[in-house]
Structure 1
Amino acid sequence: MISVLIPTYNYDVRELVNNVHKQCVDTGIDFEISIVDDYSTNSLSCENNEKLSILSHVNYTKNKENLGRTATRNKLAVEATFEWLLFLDADVLPKDTMFISSYVSAINKEHECIYGGISYTDRKPNKELILRWTYGKQREVKTVSQRKKFPFDVISQNLCIRKSTFLKCNPEKYNAYGMDILFSYNLKMENIKMLHIDNPIVHHGLEDAVTFLKKSLNAVESTYNMEKEGLISNDARPLQRVYLKLQKGHGLLTFQKSFALVKKQTFKNLHSAKPSMRLLDAFKLSHFIKLKRNG
């Protein structure tokens, strides 16, 4: 009935797999759990994850080279046994014990993709992780009604989807950070029938501020490159729409000059215990404007 697919890299997925495996068994469905390690360099996590193969219907394999998350997910999908795929990132855990049964109850012929949402713990993490935690709490955690306003905007950390639909929309040959942007855009272009339910995972794998800011700029660069290559429209993302609005009002140069005056303070704030999401937006917008100007 369902293939649970987990790509991992240098991460111990035992808690996640044991949790999901028990839920699948308790639900009484036909299932498989497939784990693909993307050529991890951490031998301990590999050894621990490999032991999961002793569980019924659990498969563990390791790539012979680092393929990246997108290609690894495509490999998992191609080799999956069942029609419905449940993608879970390695650093998440189901929020409750009804996680699998909630997806099973939602599966029907009317929808091709089911998104359960994301949550974060209420407890603040260490200072170096607060930026990523704050971003998750303010930008990624959304109610079902909020998600329905933009139904194709999904985060693939927790996504249940038909195999044929995933293979049609997944950008297999485009390997960069921020591929949910293109995946979501493809869902929209294909007019995929979406269903949003309240069935979140808890995201535990928080990066420090330095790593997260680097990834954020990489995602901006991915947006720029995908737009340039015609893979997405020039107004597919909020970032692009703000750029177009500034461009129309001849405000790009003014914005860049103003941001240059507060760039150091912005960088300091984003590494502080109270990071501003508006300043993060400005930080990314400035980078996007620079890419557009130099492109």
Structure 2
Amino acid sequence: MKGLSILIPEYNCDCTQLVRDLHRQCASAQLPSWEIVVADDGSIDETAVNQNRIIGTWDNCTFIRNEQNMGRAAIRNFLAEKAQYDRLLFIDSDMCIVSEDFVKTYLASSAPVIYGGYSIVGNHAGNLRYEYERQAEHSHRASVRQRNCYKDFHTSNFCIDRSIFIAHPLDVSYEGYGYEDVAYGDQFCRAGIPIQHIDNPVGYYDFETNESYMLKVEESLLTLYRHRSQLKDYSRIIAVTAVVERIHLHHLAGALFRLVQNKMRRQIVTCPRLMLFTLYKIGYYINLARCQK
């Protein structure tokens, strides 16, 4: 059946405004068939869950509550299985719509996989995630992303043929936080499936606290280490670590990092400095590699 399924994986996030905006655009586009499906992935924030329940009462909308957390990859695979239509549009629940032509822009392209990107909304100076994303903002343009189409792919905002997604689901072995989208780009590369990058961003506006983001980063580095064989061509941290090991400085680097780790971390959380943040990630990964061996 021809049509569009907009799929939103959600965890501890009120996404009612996002769904309202998408609902309005779908209705105005006069699509023959469309739906919006929100899947709650075992949220522990009951306030957010109760706010999102209203979505299930709107036309063409479905709200699904999963009692157990499936994980970032598995919940997207679950949504694809539930989808009724041939075209899938995945959007993260903590994003916002910044263009009145967002849905129409995706519909104008027939490419099998399309990534629209994201943009930074507002000013959140002093927030680590905001400062990190703002520094990389120049690379968010489609013309830049297309040069490394598989490496610069993210699952926060992409459109894909359902048949392709079902044949190439996300790798559920990525159970922890991070890198499931990097691995997905690698899947497309290995399968020879092209990715079209366009400028059709969603807005990134909801920035977690510095401490919460640091915990996510540390978890993602563990994910990176566990999947290092697949991700070695997609990570600068792995590349830097390989150089450090090649010149036999990894033991010294790990020892130095352990001496200053707590101080570095406090400094980053209190007053973010991106260079220090980069050094922390490298040191954390080197020390993680040592501990896991």
Match of 1:160 in 2: 159
Match of 1:121 in 2: 121
Higher alpha-carbon deviation: 111-120 or 285-294: 285-294
Match of 1:17 in 2: 19
Q: Distance in 1 between matches of 2:136 and 2:164?
A: 26
C-alpha contact 1:169 1:186 (8 A) present in aligned 2: no
How far apart are residue 23 of structure 1 and its match?
0.5
Match of 2:269 in 1: 271
Deviation track 1:89-124 (CA, whole Å, cap 9, x = no partner) reads 111111111111111112x1xx32111111112422
How far apart are residue 291 of structure 1 and its match?
2.3
Deviation track 1:140-199 (CA, whole Å, cap 9, x = no partner) reads 661112212221122211111122333314113431111223222222222221101101
Deviation track 1:216-240 (CA, whole Å, cap 9, x = no partner) reads 111111011012xx5x153331111
State which of 225, 228, 234 in structure 2 corresponds to 1:236. Answer: 234
Amino acid at match of 1:14: T
| Superposition TM-score, scaled by structure 2 size | 0.89
Match of 1:98 in 2: 101
Instruction: For residue 279 of structure 1, give the secondary structure of its aligned residue in structure 2.
Output: helix
| Superposition TM-score, scaled by structure 1 size | 0.89
How far apart are residue 264 of structure 1 and its match?
5.0
Q: Distance in 1 between matches of 2:163 and 2:288?
A: 35
User: Does residue 58 in structure 1 map to residue 57 in structure 2?
Assistant: no
Matched length: 285
Instruction: For residue 88 of structure 2, give the secondary structure of its aligned residue in structure 1.
Output: strand
Higher alpha-carbon deviation: 147-156 or 17-26: 147-156
Deviation track 1:239-274 (CA, whole Å, cap 9, x = no partner) reads 11111122223332343355456545532431244x
Match of 2:224 in 1: 223
Match of 2:251 in 1: 253
Q: Distance in 2 between matches of 1:60 and 1:39?
A: 13
Amino acid at match of 2:170: N
Residues 69 and 265 of structure 1: CA distance in aligned 2, closer, same or farther (over 3 Å): same
Amino acid at match of 2:181: D
Match of 2:133 in 1: 136
State which of 40, 47, 50 in structure 1 corresponds to 2:43. Answer: 40
Q: Distance in 1 between matches of 2:25 and 2:69?
A: 31
Q: Distance in 2 between matches of 1:165 and 1:285?
A: 35
How far apart are residue 51 of structure 1 and its match?
1.2
How far apart are residue 200 of structure 1 and its match?
0.6
Match of 1:174 in 2: 174
- Identity fraction in percent: 27
C-alpha contact 1:36 1:61 (8 A) present in aligned 2: yes
How far apart are residue 35 of structure 1 and its match?
0.8
Q: Distance in 1 between matches of 2:279 and 2:164?
A: 35
Residues 159 and 258 of structure 1: CA distance in aligned 2, closer, same or farther (over 3 Å): same
Instruction: For residue 3 of structure 1, give the secondary structure of its aligned residue in structure 2.
Output: strand
C-alpha contact 2:117 2:200 (8 A) present in aligned 1: yes
5+ residue gaps, structure 1, are: none
